[in-house]
Each structure stands twice: as C-alpha cells, then as structure tokens.
A and B are shown apart, each in its own frame.
Chain A
Amino acid sequence: MWPDERIARFVNEHFLPARVHPRETPDTFKQYGERYNAQWTPIVLELDSEGVEHFRIEGFLPADDFLAQLMLGWARVAFDAGEWAEAERRYREIVDRLPNTEAAAEALYWAGVAPYKASGNPASLKATGEAFSKRYQNSPWAKKASVWR
C-alpha cells in the first residue's frame, strides 16, 4: 500500500510521517505503543500537531481503501477542530474520488453532518439521508442516516 504513488503524494503533502518498528526500533515502538495503545502491526495513527490521535487504521488494506481511510482521517482532523467547511470538502473528496471504497459511505455521512454543525440547519442531514436511499444502501452508514429522511 505504501508504494502507491497517490498515497505517497497524499502523505507527503499533509503529514510529517514517522515509523516505529518492533524489532528495528524496539524501545521507540514500546514507548509509543504504550502511549497510543497500539498493540498490533500495521497500525497507522493520524495525529494533530499536538500529538493527539484523531484516527487509526488497523490491519492491511488494498491501496484504494487505504488511501480512502487516510483521507477519512485527514477529514476527521478538520472535523475535530471545528473546521466545518474544510471537513465537508475533505469528506466529499473521498466520495468523489474513491466512490467504490467502504470509506465512501462513511464520508458521505460526515459530509452531511459537517454543514449541519456549521449552520444548525438540518437540510444537509435530510439531503444526506435521501442520498443514502440511492447509494450505499447496504452500508451501516445508510442505517445511521435513515433517521434524517
């Protein structure tokens, strides 16, 4: 997954990347494994500039799914910072660019939540609930959004 050009570009553009290895850097692996409760490999954490975890990916994924998960985490960092417009933009980019990944349904859900958080207007929730009646109908996110229709 890491050799994928799209993933490398995305990571280099948005993150300072660091790696810990259970055998080659055992002390660092133990230190940060305990700090972030990471008990397995591979685990990828997305941290904000203060070192606070916002998203984690556990286990191997094919490139498209992995990139979509990385993008979900990147959107989550904006969401958790209350940057609603930026969060919505990041979530919608997942739906547009990687619509066939499992992450896309989750992104569609949160892309509806972000503008609601910004405005308090439930129209985006209703629109999202209706969007789920046309796509990703079998995803758990469609069930969660069904209450908005």
Chain B
Amino acid sequence: MPIKFRQDVDHVLKDAKRQQKAVLLDFNAAPM
C-alpha cells in the first residue's frame, strides 16, 4: 500500500480544509 503523495500542495491544503483532515507535508530530496 504506497502512500499517495501529491505535489499540488495548494490543492492539498484546500482539500484538507474542506475535508477537515490533517496534512502531512514531506520535504524530501529522495528520487520521486
């Protein structure tokens, strides 16, 4: 079960507000 990381952070934050969900924001230099 991979983690479904998204790169559209602006939209993730908007979705989080709408869904009342927490956000995990990963600053990561590993290959994507």
Contacts and interface: CB of A to CB of B under 8 A. Distances in A.
A41 interface: yes
Given A18-B26, A20-B27, A49 B7 contact: no
Given A18-B6, A18-B7, A24-B32, A43 B27 contact: yes
Interface residues of A, number: 41
A16 interface: yes
A18 B25 contact: yes
Given A5-B1, A17-B5, A47 B23 contact: yes
A15 B29 contact: no
Interface of B: 1-9, 12-13, 15-17, 19-30, 32
Interface of A: 2, 5, 7-9, 11-12, 14-25, 28-29, 31-33, 36, 38, 40-51, 70, 74, 77
Closest 7 CB pairs of A and B: A15-B24, A19-B5, A47-B23, A41-B29, A18-B12, A43-B27, A19-B26
